[in-house]
Amino acid sequence: MKKIVKVAIIFITILGILNIAQYRTHAAEADNTNKNETQQVDIQQEESKQVKLKDDEKEKISLSKNKKTIYVGEKYTLKIKGTNKKAKWWKSSNTKVATVNSKGKVTAKKKGIAKITAKVAGKKYKCTIKVKNLPSDSKSTKGVIYLTFDDGPSSTITPKVLDILKKEKVKATFFVLNYSKSNEKYIKRIVKEGHTIGVHGYSHEYSKIYKSKKAFLNNVYSLQKKIKKSTGVKTKYIRFPGGSSNTVSRHYYKGIMRILTKEMLSRGFKYFDWNVSSGDAGGAKTSNDVYKNVTRNLSKKRGNMVLCHDFSGNTKTLNALSKIIKYAKKNGYTFKAIDENTPMYAHGVNN
């Protein structure tokens, strides 16, 4: 009897052990199932996030500007943001107001509004360009020509330019750079003969003058002080190297031109850009090119701030100057040098 009871106890114990093992197996299987289901949910959620991210990336593609105001003659480059893809094409709704090239560079032609469209990844993006006349266009300056010469003085060109101006009885404005002792006589002559002298800069090196506000102020005040010592004139007229609309300055200090344009005005200076370019420091190859660039862009409906240069060796402008003056006089234009009553000719700031 005792033997039977002992066998029964052993049998019951074995059954209990088997039931526990089976329970643990089922629990592990259930746990694995739950884990797999959780992982699948996580994967689905991650995939959903990736799809959403892709959709969001598409939505973030845009032009660098939705609206932009620029002035007649000014250029502005629109850029694609949010993707590395390039625009398939660019289009202007009104090419008489503004044109655009294959790289998104917009050129303002005349006052008005034009919508610039770019097609990127099958979708169109638009920017409204408002073109305005230069703020200086007024009744008092209509038909007036302001001849301006940058980057002098030079011993080979400046005195000959002064000779022509004297012969034609025309006054002009010279935005000068730092000058040597031997060239100081041309600075004195500019003032003595009734022309206006302004500051272009002690230096013309963008990397130096546009690296900070302090650097630019030193660049202006150093030359202003030197001109005052040479001539007795404390000029308050400046022309930014590259113009106030230059974009090269952004390589050295982002937003520096917005700072400087306001700063110089607050200090009592007036800065002058241009609305007629001779092209003598760029595309013009001959004196005839210079002549055409100037005469074709003159207008009696506004003031004409003409950009020329009197740097060494610039015979293109020298040889075209008399012809330009004669053409202007024959067609009813008048000449003036910049003075305290001259309204500012300012481009839009792009940095």
- Of 76, 106, 132, the residue at which a domain comes to its end is 132
CA–CA dist 99, 162 (Å, integer) = 38
Question: Is 309 tagged catalytic?
Answer: yes
Q: Are residues 155 and 219 in the same domain?
A: yes
Pairing relationship of beta strands 80-81 and 196-201 according to DSSP bridges: unpaired
Q: What burial class does residue 126 get, using C-beta atoms within 10 Å of its C-beta: 0-12 exposed, 13-18 middle, 19+ buried?
A: middle
Residue 245's contacts (CB-CB under 8 Å, 6 or more residues apart) are: 74, 257, 273, 347, 348, 349, 350
Counted domains in the chain:
2
Give the model's pLDDT for residue 241.
97
CA–CA dist 315, 214 (Å, integer) = 36
Active-site pick, 137, 151, 280, 309: 309
Give the model's pLDDT for residue 53.
43
Question: Is 251 tagged catalytic?
Answer: no
Q: Which DSSP letter does residue 152 get?
A: E
Query: What band does 79 get if pLDDT is binned at 50, 70 and 90?
Result: confident
Alpha helices in the chain (DSSP H): 2-60, 158-168, 184-192, 206-209, 213-231, 256-266, 287-295, 315-330
Q: Are residues 228 and 278 in the same domain?
A: yes
Residue 121's contacts (CB-CB under 8 Å, 6 or more residues apart) are: 58, 61, 83, 85
Give the model's pLDDT for residue 56.
40
Give the model's pLDDT for residue 32.
54
- Of 132, 164, 192, the residue at which a domain comes to its end is 132
Compute φ and ψ for 247, nearest 5 degrees. Answer: -110, -10
Q: Are residues 215 and 114 in the same domain?
A: no
Q: Are residues 176 and 302 in the same domain?
A: yes
Residue 202, domain CATH: 3.20.20.370
Give the model's pLDDT for residue 81.
87
Cα 144 off chain centre by: 28
Could you read off the pLDDT of 105-156 as tens digits, one per residue?
Answer: 898 888 899 999 998 888 988 999 998 876 555 667 899 999 999 999 999 9
Q: Are residues 237 and 304 in the same domain?
A: yes
Say which amino acid occupies 347: H
Q: Are residues 224 and 153 in the same domain?
A: yes
Give me the domain span that covers residue 117. 62-132
Could you read off the pLDDT of 236-259 as tens digits, one per residue?
Answer: 999 999 999 999 999 999 999 999
CA–CA dist 66, 57 (Å, integer) = 18
Structure tokens at 64: 């660098």
Q: Are residues 328 and 180 in the same domain?
A: yes
Q: Are residues 150 and 104 in the same domain?
A: no
Q: Are residues 80 and 127 in the same domain?
A: yes
Active-site pick, 150, 151, 273, 310: 150
Query: What band does 188 get if pLDDT is binned at 50, 70 and 90?
Result: very high
Would 1 be classed as within a structural domain? no
Could you read off the pLDDT of 33-71 as tens digits, one per residue?
Answer: 555 555 554 555 555 555 444 444 455 888 888 888 877
